[in-house]
Amino acid sequence: MSQRNTTLANGEIIDAISRFLESPPEGTPDEIIEAFDLAGTREFLPPKLFLETVEQAPVAISITDSTARILYVNSAFERLSGYLRDEVIGQNESVLSSKSTPISVYQDLWETIKDKRVWHGTLVNHRKSREEYLAELIISPVFSANGQIAYYLGMHRDITEMHQLEQRLKFQKELTEAALDAVPMVVAMVDAERKVLMDNHAYKALLGDFRGVEPATLFLDALEQQLGFDLSNVCQVGKGFGNIDVRLDPPGGASPRWFACSGVRVAELDEAANNYFKQTGASRCCLLLIANEVTSSRRRINEARLNMIRANMAEQQMVQTMREAISGAIFKLQVPLNVIKAAISMPDGGSAKSSLREVLQQALESGNEAMDSLHGSLPSPTLEQTSTVNINEIVHEVIKLSTDRLLATGVVVDWRPTAVLPSLSGRANSLRGLFKYLIDNAIEAVNEAGRPYREVRLETREENHELVVEVMDNGSGIQQSQRIKAFEPFFCGWTHAGEHAGMGLTMAQEVAIGHGGSVEIDADFLGGCRVTVRLPVNGTEGG
């Protein structure tokens, strides 16, 4: 039977039902009239319209009995399966099975529908031509008046193409991920809320190195501090950035790591249904962050730089030592001169006293001359330009410069920098000098204490717009009575004063004050000493 004929036959059935309902034959049971009537004219649309709707529906529809024997199929079913309805009516739906669907799927299907529930799933079907296709199928039980399953309604569509597209998409995704994982650079896609949407192996490795702290956050913090880079602004302005060097300080005292960072703006796909027809211009965006590790080349450059700094600091140290020695001499000479001055100003008691006064006067004059020449020979402090400095970098350089001394004295350094610190406008050499004094003092203190385990711990952090550096040691500590005195010039509290001039903390404090900051000795620290340096982020240059 042709498709057209079948449609006519169905139409004839509907027409017959309509005619029957117009004048039901004498003696027709009321239930039958009621059943046709309810399904038709009164509460629902006419049966003819129902059938035509099902017949012309664009999805393949079949109605079976409770054993899946086909009773009805629509035109879309014929088109999709390639079978004419006469060829399948009376057959089991299994006529469509290509035998590639696992039996467990059918078991689940039957368990579900026999339990009077709707089954939704995918089967591998074949057409009459044996060509296979993927069928997305919904089977719904149709109940009789007594609640038993009378029929099953099956609706299916061909999703082969969609599946192919999905597979291609999956393949593309796997390919992209494999390529991303293979590259040595750190790659991450970050949304406007800094959430990492996608990353690669190198990123995950970095995440481990930073003990679970998202590297994307560290990079963005560093870029914000270095460039004033604002992630939300990138979405509006649409500009990325390229090859910006970022320094990250890993936890646990590991050496700093350097990355050349680039960022590319990528428009975020809007999944919201209500934005389906809207313009995507003002939509949100993500940032593709690419960070290429350049630590080894940076380390080589830093090594050369460190040598320069070492030479520079040695010179600075020499000048400083001379200044300290001469200042010490001035300080010491001032005492007898003051005594002489006081003696001269005492009332005159006779000629003998007068000649003594003369001698004293001469001694005072030659003393003053000596003082003038000492003042004249005092080397002037080196003037230094301010520049943008990274305190983590400065402290780390000083630790490296102190390596020989630390090794010789068996002191373990526990370096705990905050991964990203804002930079500061300051005098790098003076600041190096500041931390050198504090580290040297810490080494001296643990030496004097003579403990078997000698540790110096250095921590950096940002607190209330200040950069805080703490230098802690498990050495002899500073007595409460000496905490203020220790900052006085020429005060020396070491047991073995040796060549110490007692100017270290004075100079350290001078540098900190010159940067608008301070140096304090913690009164509550037990088991050693903790010196805290505070430097304002927007430091005022005091000279």
Q: Which residues bind ligand FAD (CB under 6 A)?
A: 62, 64, 67-68, 92-94, 96-97, 99, 101, 103, 106-107, 110, 123, 125, 135, 137, 139, 152, 154, 156
Give the span between the Cα atoms of 314 and 322, in whole angstroms. 12
Q: Contact at 8 Å (CB) between 456 and 413?
A: yes
Give the span between the Cα atoms of 69 and 222, in whole angstroms. 70
Question: What Å distances lie between residue 358 and 184, 348, 355, 366, 370, CA to CA?
Answer: 85, 11, 5, 12, 18
Which residue lies nearer to ligand FAD by CB, 110 or 331?
110
Closest CA to 316 of 495, 507, 493: 507
345 Cβ contact list (under 8 Å, min separation 6): none
Q: 3-class DSSP state for residue 460?
A: strand
Which residue lies nearer to ligand FAD by CB, 101 or 312?
101
Strands (E), 145-256: 149-158, 186-190, 196-199, 241-248
Minimum CB separation of residue 95 from ligand FAD in Å reads 8
Report the length, in residues, of the chain. 543
Give the span between the Cα atoms of 370 and 268, in whole angstroms. 78
Which residue lies nearer to ligand FAD by CB, 103 or 526?
103
Instruction: Report helix, strand and coil shares of the chain as percent, to nearest 5.
Output: 50, 20, 30
Question: What Å distances lie between residue 192 and 122, 232, 264, 285, CA to CA?
Answer: 38, 6, 13, 7
Instruction: List, edge to edge, every strand of the sheet that includes 241-248.
Output: 196-199, 186-190, 285-293, 257-267, 241-248
Which residue lies nearer to ligand FAD by CB, 139 or 220?
139
Q: Contact at 8 Å (CB) between 224 and 207?
A: no
Which residue lies nearer to ligand FAD by CB, 152 or 437?
152
Which residue lies nearer to ligand FAD by CB, 151 or 490?
151
Which residue lies nearer to ligand FAD by CB, 160 or 368?
160
Which residue lies nearer to ligand FAD by CB, 82 or 527?
82
Per the structure block, which two tokens stand in for 185?
């650079």
DSSP label of 184: S
Which residue lies nearer to ligand FAD by CB, 137 or 291?
137
Strand partners, 192: none
The DSSP string of 69-112 is: BEEEE-HHHHHHH---HHHHTTSBGGGGB-S-S-HHHHHHHHHH
Minimum CB separation of residue 150 from ligand FAD in Å reads 12
Which residue lies nearer to ligand FAD by CB, 89 or 329?
89
Give the span between the Cα atoms of 286 and 223, in whole angstroms. 16
Which residue lies nearer to ligand FAD by CB, 158 or 466?
158
Which residue lies nearer to ligand FAD by CB, 64 or 392?
64
Minimum CB separation of residue 60 from ligand FAD in Å reads 8
Q: 3-class DSSP state for residue 474?
A: coil
Minimum CB separation of residue 9 from ligand FAD in Å reads 22
482 Cβ contact list (under 8 Å, min separation 6): 491, 493
Q: Contact at 8 Å (CB) between 491 and 502?
A: yes
Closest CA to 395 of 469, 292, 285, 466: 469
Give the span between the Cα atoms of 146 and 144, in whole angstroms. 5
